[in-house]
A = this chain, B = another copy of it.
């Protein structure tokens, strides 16, 4: 057992924190939230130059061959800073499955471009059914000659409006078992018939509706085997879920630190509000939630990284951490009082993400049902 980060990982954290706080102050976060694109091309380029997009990609594809935990550290820092960018969409949701399931040809085509910041990708998974089970996948792809033809609507696809390519989860056959008959396709976002538009959401986080009308995709753009795509989705959801937990760790830590600092500077009744037991208890409970979240996340991350069976552990982490993040940001607003609920204060950035990420990749009840099944219930 070794629960410490390596020295390199600590350095990565420090440099990421420095970079983000310099390059992406909260004023920039708010501006990017308001912008149509939702990210800064300039910053994206710099991130690529720092090697972030290729952090976990092998050197042969332009990466630096890091491990999953390295990526997690980066995501923690991005969550800490609420970085608006298509990093999660591109790197976590798309580059990882291409790396693990892509053909050599696909890897060569996509990964170097991702690594050098040229390509932005988006995962089109959820649909209006809004469930993260295979039965929710209704968007149809039918094989016509050497092409798949896609029809249907995807929803809540982050960053699809700026993506160069979409990784689309489609249904290619219908059967008794909804997990059968799912095929993943890499779709050029500029293909005729693809329409992406941003759905306005509380976190202003660029979730898109993506309509497919007779969109043609060459067969070679299939990721993995035909009809066997759900296995890829399951794996990528495990990675994505713990990666999102890591972002929440960073966000929660920032929200807690911000609240604690405020409690040590805000005076009411001639006393620092952090002197009041009421506020101390809030902060102590937030601290407990933070520390418990940290350890359960790292454990799940390690299992995902090691490719150990981890369905239960991933769900446990998400069920716990998303509730903790909500609690921490909610109490954070309350500790700040009125200032905490304004557009100009940073606390709202975290609070709004907490509610957005709570329902992303399944909420606590969804994951508790997974846990129940894993317990043999």
Q: How far is the CA of A284 from the CA of B277 in the complex (A)?
A: 14
Q: How far is the CA of A278 from the CA of B276 in the complex (A)?
A: 9
- Chain B residues near A277: list those with CB within 8 A: 276-278
A342 on the interface (CB 8 Å rule)?
A: no
List residues of chain A with CB under 8 Å of any chain B CB: 276-278, 281
Copies of this chain in the oligomer: 2
Chain B: which residue is nearest A278 at the CB level?
Answer: B277
- Chain B residues near A278: list those with CB within 8 A: 277-278, 281
Q: How far is the CA of A278 from the CA of B282 in the complex (A)?
A: 11
Rounded to whole Å, the gap between the CB of A222 and the closest CB of chain B is: 44
Q: How far is the CA of A276 from the CA of B277 in the complex (A)?
A: 7
Rounded to whole Å, the gap between the CB of A291 and the closest CB of chain B is: 21
- Chain B residues near A276: list those with CB within 8 A: 277
Q: How far is the CA of A281 from the CA of B278 in the complex (A)?
A: 8
Q: How far is the CA of A277 from the CA of B281 in the complex (A)?
A: 10
Q: How far is the CA of A58 from the CA of B106 in the complex (A)?
A: 89
Chain B: which residue is nearest A281 at the CB level?
Answer: B278
Q: How far is the CA of A276 from the CA of B281 in the complex (A)?
A: 12
Q: How far is the CA of A281 from the CA of B281 in the complex (A)?
A: 11
The 4 closest A-B pairs by CB, nearest first: A277-B277, A277-B278, A276-B277, A278-B281
Rounded to whole Å, the gap between the CB of A276 and the closest CB of chain B is: 6
Q: How far is the CA of A262 from the CA of B281 in the complex (A)?
A: 22
Rounded to whole Å, the gap between the CB of A244 and the closest CB of chain B is: 31
| 5 A-B pairs (CB sep. < 8 Å) | A276-B277, A277-B277, A278-B278, A278-B281, A281-B281
Rounded to whole Å, the gap between the CB of A189 and the closest CB of chain B is: 42
Rounded to whole Å, the gap between the CB of A345 and the closest CB of chain B is: 25
Q: How far is the CA of A277 from the CA of B269 in the complex (A)?
A: 15
- Chain B residues near A281: list those with CB within 8 A: 278, 281
Chain B: which residue is nearest A277 at the CB level?
Answer: B277
Rounded to whole Å, the gap between the CB of A226 and the closest CB of chain B is: 42
Q: How far is the CA of A276 from the CA of B278 in the complex (A)?
A: 9
Rounded to whole Å, the gap between the CB of A82 and the closest CB of chain B is: 32
Chain B: which residue is nearest A276 at the CB level?
Answer: B277
Rounded to whole Å, the gap between the CB of A268 and the closest CB of chain B is: 13
